[in-house]
Chains A and B, each alone.
Chain A
Amino acid sequence: MAAGVAAWLPFARAAAIGWMPVASAPMPLAPREKRRTQDGFIIINVSGTKFQTWRSTLERYPDTLLGSTEKDFFFNEEINEYFFDRDPDIFRHILNFYRTGKLHYPRHECISAYDEELSFFGIIPEIIGDCCYEEYKDRRRENAERIQDDADDENNKEGVMPDMTLRQSMWRAFENPHTSTLALVFYYVTGFFIAVSVIANVVETVPCRASPGMIKDLPCGERYALAFFCLDTACVMIFTVEYLLRLIAAPSRYRFVRSVMSIIDVVAIMPYYIGLVMTDNEDVSGAFVTLRVFRVFRIFKFSRHSQGLRILGYTLKSCASELGFLLFSLTMAIIIFATVMFYAEKGSTASKFTSIPAAFWYTIVTMTTLGYGDMVPKTIVGKIVGSVCSLSGVLVIALPVPVIVSNFSRIYHQNQRADKRRAQKKARLARIRVAKSGSANAYMQSKHNGLLTDSPEQASKEAGQAFLSKTNLSFEKEHHHLLHCLEKTTNHEFVDEETYEKNCMEVSSVNPPGSRCSSISSQHGLTSTCCSRRNKKTFRLPNSNMSGSHAGSLQELSTIQIRERPLISNSRSSLNAKMEDTVQRNSEHPYVTSAIISIRTPPVTSREGNNTSDSPDYSQRNIVKVSAL
């Protein structure tokens, strides 16, 4: 029920007195209305901006935060106001909703911020008034697309899992040429050969100077038949290989075969094979010549290389209805005008308008304002009709075109935005990473300085003087304490990157190659590529550097996957006192994840000499030790 109508409820109830005399049964009792105080003011303080309204205004919508008792949680007795630490600009709209019953969406506000405020105050966005609903929905859709784009991006890039099969990596290389250098090379090579093939087709038909002895010019194709044939063969070879590779690598072969691009591929190379198979039979050579036309389809293979072409394709697909309308109205107009023209010109002598279909040609040429002039009306009526025809032709064609253009523009800009976002993302992530590593290092630093030892006095004595100047915010202190508790809980400690990698280097030289470890160097979930993987990389092609950094940067944003590593005691002089603790952990390398449990039992006895006595005991303890998170 609308808000304002709620104000009329007392009236409706009062008017119910009209039913009383005719009532068939006694009336129910009226609800016990607590005689609340006269409708008073209520002051809402939103980040300092004071809003005042009647109490009854807010009570119109009892299922929202402000209309229910939930707002009591925000009541501040000292100032006798309801205090919300939220954005006052957006709150203005929310309060207006209570007042007028209509929720408006301000155009200059960010859609996510607005949504958050709405959900905080318990208002469903569906009640946005009609005046603003379209705008809201559009912005929402754009936002969702953006999020979807980002998600897709991550999905694409997260595929750099080491356990991808050859087939999957091949498919990724085909679909996304930027993933590896080989894919890029392949991409350019195929592009080059498509261009060569198309140019050869074109040049084939150009008349070359006749060889001596011949009278008329031959097309180049016939003169240098062998050369062109070789070129064609080479191109088709490449295309066939490419097609077969794609077919092998496709995750769903059936779907791949049905897709448009694969059909284009097949159509592009079929004529060659058919030509090989067929002999120089006179009857079929005519058909064979026609088949050569299909070679021009090779130019469509460029659409894999050009995003603009793909956008054009999407646009045409999405404007199917407009195009259909254009076609239909044109057909209607053509038939009408052709008929009229034919009958108008029937009387004149030697008229070119021999039949209505013949007049179609004239009508089309006129409506599209081409005006070849091969068919011209001679009678006056014919000329009148012809002029009307050309005028209306302009209109009919001009009408659906802007719709198609705007569709194209929207899709194109969307794509541009996606590309721009992707480009900006790398820079943004790098900056974020720097900021995060700063805070991560803070924890390491404070540990280093022994500020978290159990004997604070000792620690402060040791490190106090030098670091008295450092302001220890209470937030940091509590946070570090929390991390310390975590360490104690899991019986593992946090280490920083370099130490871990150093450790890993040593480990991997002992471990069989192909071991996998993915390291997290800090509690924030910062990931760096695993050292062993880096080793792997140095042994093999240096092509996964990009992928590694991508994984690193992206996993940063994902949830924490905590895996524990052993502590390297020799890097910390100040923690020597905790040798007993570290002894247990040094010899084992349980790699525990929340999802994947991979048990590593590397022989590390050779590494830490002073722990040999303990290692046999603990090598059996490589049972999965799920961290007590």
Chain B
Amino acid sequence: MGIQGMEILAVGVVLFMFMAVLKQFGVLEPMEDSSESDLELSTVRHQPEGLDQLQAQTKFTKKELQSLYRGFKNECPSGLVDEETFKMIYSQFFPQGDATTYAHFLFNAFDIDRTGSIRFEDFVIGLSVLLRGSVHEKLKWAFNLYDINKDGYITKEEMLAIMKSIYDMMGNYTYPSVREDTPFEHVEKFFQKMDRNQDGVVTIDEFMETCQKDENIMSSMQLFENVI
């Protein structure tokens, strides 16, 4: 009697394992509602504002805007750049290192209204500042980039994060090689220079003042005038 019960139990176990194997092969799937995925709309599209409005908002000529839009639309047919795509594109320019962190910061700098994706207007407005703006505007843009939480102050942690991401872009094979504390030292140097009142944060005024006094920085701001 006991033996027969054991046999039936064994047979039951075998049958159960059989089912498990079948499930593994996907034959018996747990019934999922897979119809939802079919209704998913194809990507969201975005059309930019009119050419004239953009021309008013930026300092580009019509032809430049046309050319910029063509390049933009070619890469992102939907009219929006999300962070992943942005990271991917930016990483292509820095094959040796890992540009994703810096791209993240850059993305946030361009995505002014924090929508999570860059539209053509954001793109073009940012570029307008960078290429056609005054030095003051450019410096403000840079400050905005470093100020990760956009609270108006650059802390040491924020600066360290930015610095590390920049050094990440360099990759492993550099001369001299990047040591663990290289970003930290660089941040220290930066703060020494920028932080006037030594309160541990850099405000926009301190930043502006210091930069305007520095010859190198002022000249390098003019470097990319002719990019477009």
Contacts and interface: CB of A to CB of B under 8 A. Distances in A.
15 contacts: A4-B71, A12-B90, A15-B130, A16-B224, A17-B141, A18-B109, A20-B142, A20-B220, A21-B139, A21-B190, A22-B186, A24-B189, A29-B223, A33-B226, A100-B74
A381 B11 contact: yes
Interface range on chain B: under 10, 10 to 19, 20 to 34, or 35 or more?
Answer: 35 or more
Given A8-B93, A20-B217, A21-B207, 8 more contacts: A7-B72, A8-B75, A17-B130, A18-B106, A22-B166, A27-B223, A336-B14, A346-B7
B11 A344 contact: yes
Interface in A1-41: 1-2, 4-5, 7-24, 26-27, 29-30, 33, 35, 38-39
B74 A4 contact: yes
A58 to B, nearest CB: 14
Nearest to A2: B92
A171 interface: no
Contacts of B123: 11
Interface of B: 4, 7-8, 10-11, 14, 18, 63, 67, 70-72, 74-75, 89-90, 92-93, 106, 109, 123, 127, 130-131, 138-139, 141-142, 145-146, 162-163, 166, 186, 189-190, 207, 211, 216-217, 219-221, 223-224, 226-228
Contact of A27 (B109, B127, B220): B220
Contacts of B145: 18
Given A15-B130, A30-B226, A39-B67, A347 B141 contact: no
A243 interface: no
A399 to B, nearest CB: 11
A220 interface: no
Contacts, number: 110
A505 B207 CA distance: 104
Given A11-B123, A14-B130, A26-B219, A5 B224 contact: no
Contact of A23 (B18, B63, B220): B220
Residues of B contacting A: mostly: helix
A340 B18 CA distance: 12
Most A-side CB within 10 Å, residue of B7, B186, B220, B226: B220
A34 to B, nearest CB: 10
A38 B63 contact: yes
A8 B139 CA distance: 22
Contacts of B4: 347
A75 interface: no
Interface of A: 1-2, 4-5, 7-24, 26-27, 29-30, 33, 35, 38-39, 54, 56, 99-100, 336, 340, 343-344, 346-347, 381, 385, 388
B7 A21 contact: no
A14 B127 contact: yes
Contact of B92 (A1, A10, A336): A1
Nearest to A346: B7
Nearest to B109: A18
B74 A14 contact: no
A30 B224 CA distance: 7
A14 B224 contact: yes
Nearest to B93: A12
When A and B form their complex, which 8 residue pairs have the shortest distance between CB atoms, in order from nearest?
Answer: A7-B71, A14-B130, A27-B220, A4-B75, A10-B227, A20-B220, A18-B145, A26-B216
Given A5-B75, A15-B106, A17-B142, A340 B127 contact: no
A13 B224 contact: yes
Contacts of B72: 7
A389 to B, nearest CB: 11
Given A38-B63, A347-B7, A385-B11, A21 B224 contact: no
A5 B92 contact: yes
A169 B14 CA distance: 66
A39 B163 CA distance: 37
Nearest to A35: B226
Nearest to B8: A381
Contacts of A12: 90, 93
A9 B93 contact: yes
Given A14-B130, A30-B223, A346-B7, A23 B75 contact: no
A275 B20 CA distance: 58
A526 B127 CA distance: 70
Contacts of A24: 186, 189
B193 to A, nearest CB: 9
A470 B207 CA distance: 92
Nearest to B141: A17
A459 B101 CA distance: 87
Most A-side CB within 10 Å, residue of B142, B146, B162, B207: B142
A21 B8 contact: no
B184 to A, nearest CB: 13
Nearest to A101: B74
Nearest to A33: B226
B133 to A, nearest CB: 10
Contacts of A20: 142, 217, 220-221, 223
Contacts of B228: 10
Contacts of B223: 16-17, 20, 27, 29-30
B124 to A, nearest CB: 10
A221 B186 CA distance: 100
Contacts of B138: 17
B14 A340 contact: yes
Contacts of B109: 18
Nearest to B143: A21
Contacts of B10: 343
Contacts of A385: 11
A454 B211 CA distance: 89
A22 B163 contact: yes
